[in-house]
Amino acid sequence: MFSLKELFKELSFQASLYSDLPLLASDLPYFPPEEDDEEFDDGIHLVVCVHGLDGNSADLRLVKTFIELGLPGSRLDFLMSERNQADTFADFDTMTDRLLDEIIQHIQLYNLTIGRISFIGHSLGNVIIRSVLTRPRFRCYLPRLHTFLSLSGPHLGTLYNNSALVSTGLWLMQKLKKSGSLLQLTFRDHVDPRKTFLYLLSQKPGLQFFKNVVLVASPQDRYVPFHSARIEMCKTALKDRTTGPVYTEMINNLLQPLVEAKECRLIRQNVFHALPNTANTLIGRAAHIAVLDSELFLEKFFLVAGLDYFK
């Protein structure tokens, strides 16, 4: 006598499958098979996430989540930087040393074999990332650089900020906190603009070693000027006969190596957020933070374009 289990195995059904879509959205299984270490002899893909001013290691948690969901089975290792979260008002050299120590210690602690390294930065964190690339101790990792995803990064500082309210607020914060980083972002760390931190940083190699340099910017963001996040000229700088030429030199210093690097792609992404009418929206803070906490933006960005940069 057959058991119910055996009887069920003998049942047969006739059916058809139909779909309006000729192709699957992804050919990767949602629950991938167990990884075979032998398949990753070339090492893992280390992704370093760096927060911005007055931020912390959890700021980019949604970015990490959407990359992991979108690339199941990829051997990604995330370092959510926390070394600077206790003091983001220090000068850039100090914060660079902290981040560099954190990266090297992470690699050594977990005995990682690095195949590729990518960086994701928000706001001020992007400048710290670029500074790390110039350090001698990081030189051995330059050939492994893959993607630099810059979210609202003040690559040209905040000198030509079109928001007087934000400029005043940053000035007061710099005075109260004695912030070296805010002083450097406004080119007030040296009387000669060509000897300021940001100008000297623009002269050093770094970005051209990446395969992808992705600059995400929003015109609604008044904390970081739109042109600064995109590394491009602005009308105010063109009219400024004193600092304007120095600004032009900075842009050329950053972009010319990228243009000449055959294996490097420069991608600019402009974002327009659907934001409520609040005080944060009015002063531009809402758009500055939306690249971190808007699930709608992050899901669409990574599904449409972002995931390709981390494959």
Q: Which domain holds residue 173?
A: 43-309
pLDDT score recorded for residue 63 = 97
**pTM metric for this prediction:** 0.85
pLDDT score recorded for residue 39 = 45
Residue with the bigger pLDDT between 165 and 29: it is 29
Query: In which band, very low, low, confident or very high, does the pLDDT at 19 lie, cut at 50, 70 and 90?
Result: low
Query: In which band, very low, low, confident or very high, does the pLDDT at 160 lie, cut at 50, 70 and 90?
Result: confident
pLDDT score recorded for residue 181 = 84
290 in a domain, yes or no? yes
Query: In which band, very low, low, confident or very high, does the pLDDT at 275 lie, cut at 50, 70 and 90?
Result: confident
Indicate whether 34 pLDDT > 80: no
154 in a domain, yes or no? yes
299 in a domain, yes or no? yes
Residue with the bigger pLDDT between 221 and 6: it is 221
Cβ atoms within 10 Å, residue 195: 10
153 in a domain, yes or no? yes
260 in a domain, yes or no? yes
19 in a domain, yes or no? no
Secondary structure of the chain in HEC code, one letter for each residue:
CCCHHHHHHCCCCCCCCCCCCCCCCCCCCCCCCCCCHHHHCCCEEEEEEECCCCCCCCCCHHHHHHHHHHCCCCCEEEEECCCCCCCCCCCHHHHHHHHHHHHHHHHHHCCCCEEEEEEEEECCHHHHHHHHCCCHHHHHHHHHEEEEEEECCCCCCCCCCCCHHHHHHHHHHHHHHCCHHHHHHCCCCCCCHHHCHHHHHHCCCCHHHCCEEEEEECCCCCCCCHHHHHCCCCHHHHHCCCCHHHHHHHHHHHHHHHHHCCCCEEEEEECCCCCCCCHHHHHCHHHHHHHHHCHHHHHHHHHHCHHHHHC
pLDDT score recorded for residue 24 = 62
7 in a domain, yes or no? no
81 in a domain, yes or no? yes
pLDDT score recorded for residue 74 = 87
Q: Does residue 95 contact residue 88 with C-beta atoms inside 8 Å? A: yes
CATH of the domain at 104: 3.40.50.1820
Angle at 143 (CA atoms; ends 137, 147), nearest 5 degrees = 100
pLDDT score recorded for residue 37 = 47
pLDDT, tens digit, for every residue of 132-149?
999 999 999 999 999 999
pLDDT score recorded for residue 255 = 97
Residue with the bigger pLDDT between 7 and 278: it is 278
Residue 300 burial (CB < 10 Å; 0-12/13-18/19+)?
middle
Domain count, the chain: 1
Average pLDDT over residues 106-113: 95
pLDDT score recorded for residue 80 = 98
Q: What is the mean pLDDT of the chain?
A: 87
